[in-house]
Amino acid sequence: MIAREPTLARLATAHDLLLAPYGLDETHLRRALGEILAPGVDDADLYFQYTRSEGWSLEEGIVKTGSFSIDQGVGVRAVSGDKTAFAYSDDLSWAALQDAARSVRAIGAQGQSRRVKVGARKVAKSRALYGAGDPIASLDSAAKVALLEQVERRAKARDPRIVQVMAGLASEYDVVLVARADGTLAADVRPLVRLSVTVIAEQNGRREIGSSGGGGRFGLDRFDDALIDRYVTEAVQAALTNLDSRPAPAGEMTVVLGPGWPGVLLHEAVGHGLEGDFNRKGSSAFTGMIGKRVAAKGVTVLDDGTISDRRGSLNVDDEGCATQRNVLIEDGILRGYIQDSLNARLMGVKPTGNGRRESYAHLPMPRMTNTYMLGGDMDPQEIIASIKKGLYATNFGGGQVDITSGKFVFSASQAWWVEDGKLQYPVKGATLVGSGPESLKKVSMIGNDLALDSGVGTCGKEGQSVPVGVGQPTLRIEGLTVGGTA
């Protein structure tokens, strides 16, 4: 059997789900774009989406929740200068598409006096970063429940102090079709799954929580015995470790961050500040800093939407642009920002494949994909051994950042107090407080153990949530402020 070229196969899937059932074809898309392109409109696009999602949760051996949903619709956008008109509909008929196109056309009266011609058809380049199968169909309902029951059994069998287990399984099948005024036609078929496990351990009347999990753009059959065992082990160990935790010391100190998920601090404290919209408006701490040193030597930060099967990866972004491996900071020097098409045009640069939206009912904006720091040459154990007195943090919970100042606050969900290079005891209630740009300049050691997170990240911005990835090696940072409970 001859395999179909990936891009053409995705376009065919999108056509069959989003156009054909409603009597639409590419001619209708071009006509709708022609309706939008009044004098003064600089750009326009149509974003069709079909999403089918399913979720299961199990607690105390009982299926607590089961959900299934289907959503579909189209978003229609016209852009003039920095102004945007947007309409969306869950009706995919030609009449509804025409109405949406006409409703956004009015923006032309407020913009520049020129007309943009609908471009010749340009199909997105071929690539296949992940499979196009429906993950919901990769296991039947009985097998999904059995998988969650297996998680619960393994967790409770690990230690008698585990008194409660909560397991969840989520699957999504997402098909998008993008048609742009410049003639670009792109489609993507995006599977997404996630398995989560949370346990509660109890000892002498004290209760502590541990959690783990992971996922990505693949089928549910990826969750084999070895991966399930890994997630269970991590959750149980976290809960049992926290049973022995003491109040965290407070003050300014050396902090070592573990590899993988602690990269969420990098994502929040630095990544958002490198998004194009904040820098175009001058509201980021990194505005006007391209070509200048913003971090210590050895610090290289990338945003890469091209890593196979990763949660944050996309074949094309939500504007039909191919995702890229973007070097944002190279050896401490700021090289560029994350861009969507609107902000790239206004800043006189090229889009970077980072135009993302939560759904057809939302506008695209520059967003991260998989953001991480490259590894260095230090042995992680040597980095820990170098701490005279300080904190070693391996997992984080919630946090927030002020984009303008770069200041952040992050809560460590798992951390140890370290003296003379040795882990003394786990601590609870440690909060890291600092400035993203300043923290990058205080990186003094970079481990050779770069790791990406297990596939659990979701990023929020201006009310929209999208799946993302984070990562980093072990890092030593000097002089961070730790807010503790001791």
Tens digit of each residue's pLDDT, the chain (486 residues): 455 688 899 999 999 999 999 999 999 999 999 999 888 888 999 999 999 999 999 998 899 999 999 999 999 999 998 999 999 999 999 999 999 999 898 765 555 434 445 556 677 677 899 999 999 999 999 999 999 999 999 999 999 999 999 999 999 999 999 999 999 999 999 999 999 999 999 999 999 999 999 999 999 999 999 999 999 999 999 999 999 999 999 999 999 999 999 999 889 889 999 999 999 999 999 999 999 999 999 999 999 999 999 999 999 999 999 999 999 999 999 999 999 999 999 999 999 999 999 999 999 999 999 999 999 999 999 999 999 999 999 999 877 888 888 888 989 999 999 999 999 999 999 999 999 889 999 999 999 999 999 999 999 999 999 999 999 999 999 999 998 776
Question: Is 218:188 a contact under the CB 8 Å cutoff?
Answer: no
Q: How far apart are CA 17 and CA 14, in angstroms?
A: 5
Residue ranges of the alpha helices (H) in 244-319?
A: 263-266, 276-280
Q: How far apart are CA 435 and CA 431, in angstroms?
A: 13
Q: What is the pTM of this model?
A: 0.94
Place of tokens 């140890």: 416
Q: How far apart are CA 181 and CA 76, in angstroms?
A: 11
Instruction: Of 469, 133, 172, 177, give the one whose Cα is nearest residue 316.
Output: 177
Reduced to 3 DSSP states, what percent helix, strand and coil does the chain have, rounded to the nearest 5? Answer: 25, 40, 35
| DSSP symbol at 406 | -
DSSP-derived 3-state class of residue 383: helix
Residue 79, both tokens: 């852009």
Residue 180's Cβ-count burial label (10 Å; 0-12, 13-18, 19+) is buried
E strands, 217-324, in order: 246-247, 251-257, 301-304
Residue 146, both tokens: 């059995």
Instruction: Of 131, 148, 130, give the one whose Cα is nearest residue 139.
Output: 148
Instruction: Of 432, 441, 436, 437, give the one whose Cα is nearest residue 478.
Output: 441
Question: Is 317:356 a contact under the CB 8 Å cutoff?
Answer: yes
List, in order, residues 6 or more apart from 390 with CB less than 8 Å away. Answer: 253, 254, 255, 256, 418
